[in-house]
Amino acid sequence: MYMCISLALQFKTSQEVYACKQRETVLKAELQGGRVAARNLSSKQHKLDEETLKQQEILYTQDFQLQQQERKVGRLQGDRSDEEQSALNDKMKVGSLTAGGRGRGTVHMYVQYVCM
């Protein structure tokens, strides 16, 4: 009788140990899967960060080129810096003085000024 109880107890214990080992195997697999998922997400985040940086570089380049084009258009429309404007005004004054105050020389200088 003691032997029967002992065998039953031993059987029950071995079943519990087996169940614990099964649970341990499942938990290890879940842990490994979580690590792999974390690594994949980290890699994906890195790729997205790189792509974002490339897009920002493209936007910066496009913005810079747009500003250059706007400056060119403004220059073609006659926009000048204060220094250039002052130099052109000085040239106009000198041109009108050398023309002797005659209208033709002043008009010629004005046409040159507008065409610049």
pLDDT at site 77:
87
Residue 34 is assigned to a structural domain of this protein: no
Taking residues 53-58, report their average pLDDT. Answer: 98
Rounded to an integer, what distance in angstroms lies between the CA atom of residue 35 and that of residue 88?
71
Residue 85 is assigned to a structural domain of this protein: yes
Higher pLDDT, 9 or 43: 43
Residue 96 is assigned to a structural domain of this protein: yes
pTM more than 0.85: no
Confidence of residue 108 (pLDDT cuts 50, 70, 90): low
Half-sphere exposure of 99 (CA within 13 A, CB side): 16
Determine the structural domain holding residue 100 and report its residue range: 80-116
Taking residues 16-42, report their average pLDDT. Answer: 97
Work out how many domains the chain is built from and give that number.
1
Higher pLDDT, 51 or 80: 51
Residue 63 is assigned to a structural domain of this protein: no
pLDDT at site 96:
67
Residue 95 is assigned to a structural domain of this protein: yes
